[in-house]
Structure 1
């Protein structure tokens, strides 16, 4: 699970250089949204195959394959940025997205199974490691911007570091986690010879979890992709300060996740989830209307703290049913990554017409909608009848 941190470093490394990549390509905000769509295409493929691959080959196989694709993607992005080829950058982002989507499905399934086995909230802490990785990546971007390091050199160095880390991390992830032996008695926790309804794992509670993770993942993804550019274009500041503000956001996410397990164990999932949604919405609202970057930084703090627990809490709730924990966790993670990766390119197209700050109103509305579904994260006292 410590691979979360390595993935976070890779994500933040290129995200914090988005202004530099845009300048290298000579792209507008709308064109950058289309380039980032390459990330969405790869990620949708990754999350579509991730659950199937975990069931057949185990989490470690999927995580290692995903990290390898991330490294390859960064190399291709570096080549595209150096040559000014938007299509090459989009292709590299597709590799990157596939690795991130499939690899984190494996990581999330491992985390949910670990939480079930230890009987306490640990998924938020594991996601906190991811957020710490984004802070490291943002600080690396800050240094790279300060010394005017070329984008290709920056991403090439990041690829080498993440690749070396993957070799070590692959030995720390259990090989068989999440794997389902087809045809074995009890493989789906059903009596041998007794068929299980095809969609027995799908219920109204899972739909509610999907609503939560759609809104909260959109909040996290829009910050990851656009916050540095909001600082540059929306507030007329520098790329260096864009990296600083993004590092601040990552630190807020890490703080919320590392402390979230204790809050959940004390106050319960639903109250914490509802409060988090309101805090995130308040923070996004401040960023939209703030008169200057100092006030906006306070909004970024609230935005990060509020958005931090949406993804891990929804995943924990999805894993409550021991019969279908891996399948339900995969479904929820898929909804989350769809919002995390499809939403930001759409916001880029909208931002071209109304400005990136005003485009965040869409995210604000989506986050507020999650408050009405917060009850879905309550611990499941008994099996729920499937839909249909």
Structure 2
């Protein structure tokens, strides 16, 4: 898609995508950091708060399912920028509903808007990420996902500072939204227009129809890659939602120690993703995926059956390293074929988000009966299956697929 770009343009594109990955992480962490304050402002019970937060899942799923069609019509840059802008509107709405107006329905609507914007942006930025990889001839998606983690960390720290300073929710969230909008105004010119847009290809093939884009869900390779990502995203999502409680309940430690364990997990995953590009270039996707699955399995086994927190902490580190690669490497593999890249990356991303959104609640239901530590055996099975199917990520002659020129160009 990017043969017409020179080295400097590709470099600027790459830099911009790092920031486009960090921005959703920043905005998501901003909202999460204020959830306790919003709950108190609304006077909502845990059950009521659960239904309010369901708005986020609703919007996200709608966005994920529609993203590939939007990208095919308007291009990756337009959808990515629009998604962040829509998400910012949702963030401001959440802030107003969660403090100034104190309306739970408004928070639900704001989260649905926020989720929709983030959903379409997530697919678009991963499509852009796969295209930058091909243009730069380097493995970059793990690094882009590390940028997302870094954005999350910045958002969480900023949220903690805002809470300590007593900044009202609506001002804090509006300020975060303004930062995102200013960033995309500055960055969007660095991204080529028309990435993955059907009518922008010079491949000699007709654009994919809506039916053809939906048909990628029947492709064996895409489905296998989706299962790999599903299993590894389940490992990541279960830790994000349950790890502190797993450690507190399973090892009888303080909540502060449980939070520390989660910090270890996030640090290990971020470091793994930061190093992932070099590992992929040296050893290849399949070897990295199999090794990461083995590390995650070993880590989960140690956490589940460990006899002390010190030993379990080692398992948490291995779990974090093992969870770092499945999502970005699977998306990179889904983007091998330039025709239909948005549809395939969208399908795999949707499966990953299914694991993020649905997996943790299921784990909670199982944990209610057998305990959270034993419930992690379900995650162990998912990671094992992902490791066994890792061969699906083997490249499919991507160099031959990309020998044809493209008319993608930079527009100001």
Normalization by structure 2: what TM-score?
A: 0.78
Which of 147, 151, 161 in structure 2 is aligned with 1:133?
Answer: 151
Instruction: Indicate which of 225, 234, 237 corresponds to 1:209.
Output: 225
Taking the aligned partners of 1:93 and 1:298, their CA distance within structure 2 comes to 36
The CA distance in 1 between the partners of 2:40 and 2:308, in whole Å, is 24
User: Given that residues 35 and 87 in structure 1 are in contact (C-alpha distance below 8 angstroms), is that contact kept between their aligned partners in structure 2?
Assistant: yes
2:393 counterpart of 1:377: yes
CA-to-aligned-CA distance 1:8-45 (integer Å, 9 cap, x gap): 11122233444555555565665554433222111111
1:339 aligns with 2:360: no
Q: Retained in 2: the 8 A contact 1:139–1:244?
A: no
Q: 1:92 aligns with which of 88, 97, 110?
A: 110
Q: Distance in 2 between matches of 1:374 and 1:51?
A: 24
What is the Cα deviation at residue 249 of structure 1? Answer: 3.5
CA gap of 1:165–1:185, structure 2 versus 1, over 3 A, is: closer
> Is structure 2 residue 64 aligned with structure 1 residue 47?
yes
158-167 vs 66-75, greater mean Cα deviation: 158-167
Aligned 1:168-317 pairs, distance under 5 A: 168-181=186-199, 186-188=204-206, 199=215, 202-227=218-243, 237-238=254-255, 246-287=262-303, 297-317=313-333
Shift of 1:199: 3.7
Q: Distance in 1 between matches of 2:201 and 2:284?
A: 38
Query: Which aligned pairs between 1:16-165 and structure 2 lie closer than 5 A?
Result: 16-22=33-39, 24=41, 32-82=49-99, 85-144=103-162, 146=164, 151-165=169-183
**What residue is the counterpart of 1:327 in the other structure?**
343
In structure 1, how many angstroms separate the alpha carbons of the residues matched to 2:46 and 2:311?
Answer: 24
Q: Against the structure 1 CA distance between its residues 227 and 378, is the aligned structure 2 distance closer, same or farther, given a 3 Å change threshold?
A: same
Cα gap change, 1:210/1:246 in structure 2, threshold over 3 Å: closer, same or farther?
same
Could you say if the C-alpha distance between residues 175 and 349 of structure 1 is closer, same or farther in structure 2, counting changes exceeding 3 Å? farther
Q: Which deviates the most, 14-23 or 122-131?
A: 14-23
Query: Residue 190 of structure 2: SS of its match in structure 1?
Result: coil
Give the equivalent residue in structure 2 for 1:386. Answer: none
Deviations 1:238-267 (A, max 9, x none): 5x7776655543332221111111111222
Q: What is the alpha-carbon distance in structure 2 between the residues aligned to residue 43 and residue 19 of structure 1?
A: 22
| Cα distance in 1, alignment partners of residues 327 and 25 from structure 2 | 15
Given that residues 25 and 85 in structure 1 are in contact (C-alpha distance below 8 angstroms), is that contact kept between their aligned partners in structure 2?
A: yes
1:368 aligns with 2:392: no
1:6 is aligned to 2:58: no
RMSD: 3.6
Listed one character per residue, the Cα deviations across residues 170-216 of structure 1 (whole Å, up to 9, x for unaligned) are 333222111111898824489xxxx9898478532221101011111
Deviation at 1:49, TM superposition (A): 1.3
Q: In structure 2, what is the Cα distance between the partners aligned to 1:220 and 1:265?
A: 23
State the distance in 2 between where 1:135 and 1:328 align.
Answer: 29
Distance in 2 between residues matched to 1:217 and 1:63, nearest whole Å:
22
- Residues 227 and 171 (structure 1), Cα distance of their counterparts in 2 relative to 1, 3 Å cut: farther
Segments of 5+ residues of structure 1 without an aligned counterpart are 384-388
Go from structure 1 to structure 2 and tell me whether the alpha carbon gap of 1:200 and 1:98 turns closer, same or farther (over 3 Å shift).
closer
Aligned in 2, Cα 1:129/1:109: closer, same or farther, shift over 3 Å? same
Following superposition, the deviation at residue 54 of structure 1 comes to: 0.7
CA contact (8 A) 1:16 1:243 kept: no
For 1:41 and 1:291, the matched residues in 2 are separated by 40
Change over 3 Å in CA distance of 1:188–1:255 after alignment to 2: farther
Cα gap change, 1:345/1:360 in structure 2, threshold over 3 Å: closer, same or farther? same
Q: Tell me the distance in 2 between the aligned counterparts of 1:75 and 1:121.
A: 36
TM-score normalised over the length of structure 1: 0.82
Structure 2 gaps of 5+ residues are: 1-16, 401-412
